[in-house]
Structure 1
Amino acid sequence: MRLVLGPMEGVLDHLMREILTEINDYDLCVTEFVRVVDQALPPHVFHKICPELLQGSQTRSQTPIHIQLLGQDPRWMAENAVIAEGLGAKGIDLNFGCPARLVNKSKGGAALLQHPELIYQVIKACREAVDDKVPVTAKIRLGWDNPEDCFEIVDAVEKAGANELTVHARTKSAGYKASEIKWDYIRQIREKTTLPLIANGEIWNHADGQRCMETTQVNSLMVCRGAFNVPNLGNVVKHNASPMSWPEVVELLLLYSTYEIEGDKGLYYPNRVKQWFSYLKQQYPEANRLFREIRTFNKAAPIVDHIQRYRDELYTAV
C-alpha cells in the first residue's frame, strides 16, 4: 500500500505535516493550496505554504512534499508551476476538488468540475511548462452533482498528460456526507484509464483502507480528515497499528505547542489547537473535557500551561 497525507486548507500546515510525518509512515504529503489568480506569485508565498522547499521539498523525516496550486487560468497556473519547480518542488498538484463555497464562487477548485475542457487546458499548460521529471498530478471529485460526469473529467485529465490522479469519491454537492461515498466509481474509472490513481474519502481505520482498496482495485490511498481524529492514522491504515492512546495524544498536543509557538510566535496557536480539538473529540471522549477547559483562552501561554497540568494529572492518576 502507498499512503498519502492529503491537504486540508487552514489545518494541515507545515508544522502539522512535521508532526504527522514523524509519527507515521506516509509515502507523500501534499500542501495546502497556493491560490493562483492573474499573476506570477513571489517566492515568499510558496515558502509560507511550503517552507520545506528550503530542506529539499521534504519534511525532516524525509517524507516528500508536492505543492498544490488552485486556479483556473492555464497561463498563470503554468507560470506559477514553473516558479514552484524553480524553488525545488518535487511535484505539482492541481486542485479541482475543493468544495469550499468561497473558492467555488471565484471559479476555483470543484467549480472546474463543470468544465472538463478547462481542466484539460490547465493541466496541459502546467505539464508542458515544467520538466518531465517533475510530476504534475491532479485531485478531483466525481463531479459537481452527478457522479457520472467523472468519466469525462478523468478523460480530460489523462489526455492533458497528468502523471497521477487522486479521486475523492463524492460529488461536490455531496459535501462530506458519509452516505454519499461512492468508491465503486473509482473502480469503474480504474477500468477505463491507464492513469495511476489514488483513492480518497471515508478512510478512518485499517478496515476502511482494506475495503477501499478491494472495492476500487487501487492500492494507493489518501487520508485527510481522519489524520486529525487519530494522529497515527497513517500507521493504523497502513500497518494495522493500534490507535494512539489518549495520554500519547496529550503529549503530541504539547509537542505541537512547541512547534507552533516557535514557528509562528504563538499568534495562531489558540485557533489552530482548538480546531484540532474539534477533530480529536470525535475519537477521544476525554478531549471534550480538556477542550471545555481551554476554549475561553485566546493566548498560547495559558493553553499550554493548562495542557501541561492536565498531562501531569494523568500521570499522577496512574
Structure 2
Amino acid sequence: MKHISILVPRGAILGSLEGSRQLFSQVNQFAKQQGKPPVFQVELIGLTRETPVSGGLFTVNTDSLVDDVARTDLIIIPAVDGDLSDAIDQNKAFLPWIKKQYEAGAEVASLCLGAFLLASTGLLSGRKCATHWMAESAFRQMFPDVQLVTQKIITDEHRIYSSGGAFSYLNLILYLIEKYAGREIAVLSAKVFAIELDRQNQLPFTIFQGQKGHEDEPVKKIQEYIESNFQKKITIDELASMQAIGRRNLERRFKKATDNTIVEYIQRVKIEAAKMSLESSRENINEVMYKVGYTDTKAFRSTFKRVTGLSPIQYRAKYNRVMSA
C-alpha cells in the first residue's frame, strides 16, 4: 500500500487539497468493491493540528504533524493563495522535510501554485515545472534556475511531478492514479468525477498579460507601443530608434525584462487580440487575421496554433457563443 502525504500548508486552497484526498480515497473504495485491499493510505500532514486555509474561511484538521511522519511514498503539495512570498515563509518548515523525504526515495507532486513551495526546496533546480499561467512572471523572477513550461498540464521528471493552473491538478491526480492503480481505475475515476482524461496542455486557457513587473522603463514604453499599435507592421529597428537604443542592446534588454523576444511579444499581442475577436464576434477567420495585422493566412494559422494549441476554427468553436446564438 502506497503512503500518500497530502500537505496542509497555511493558506492552502481547499479545493486542490480536498479534491486530491477525495480522488485517492475513492480509489480505495473501488478496490473494496472489487474485493481487493486498499491501494493508498492517505494522510493530511500539517505543521499544526488545525490549519486555516482559503484565506481563513476554513480550518483543516490534520491527521499527523510533519515531524511525526518518518517516511512516505508520495507527497502532494496543494495550491496556496495570497502573497506567494508570504506563503513560502509561513510554510518554510515543510521544506527540509520534503527534501529529506525525496532524498529517501519519495515522490513529490505540486498542484498549481504549490509549485512555489516545491521550487523553494531547491529540488526543481535545472528541471521542468508547470504552474498557473497567471503566475508565470512571478515564478520566473523567483526561480530563474527552474525550466518553467507554462503550456504543460503535467510534468514528470525524476520522481517530481507538477500540474498547470487551477483545476488541471485533477489531471495530475488521475495521472498518478493510473501509474499506481492502473488505467482501468483511472478511467473509472475520471468517469465518476466527470474529469476530462488525458488533457496535455493549458495553452487554450492562457491569457497573455505581458510581463511589466520590471524596472526597464524604455522596454515598458516599447511594450505599450506594441500593444497600442499591433495592427501595424512594427520593426525592431523602428522600436530601437524610438528609444534611441542600439538594436542588439534593445533585444537583449527586452528579452531579459519580459522573457520574450520582441518578435515573440508582437506575435503574442496579435494572437491575444485575435482570440478576443474569435470569442466575441461574428467576423470570419480572414477578417480577424487582417484586423490584427496579418496578411499571410498560413503564417497566422501556424502562429495561432503554436500559441494556443488550437487552430483558429477550433478556438472559435470552443469559446464563441455569439455564433451559436
TM-score by length of 1: 0.30
Higher RCO, Cα 8 Å, sep 6+ = 1
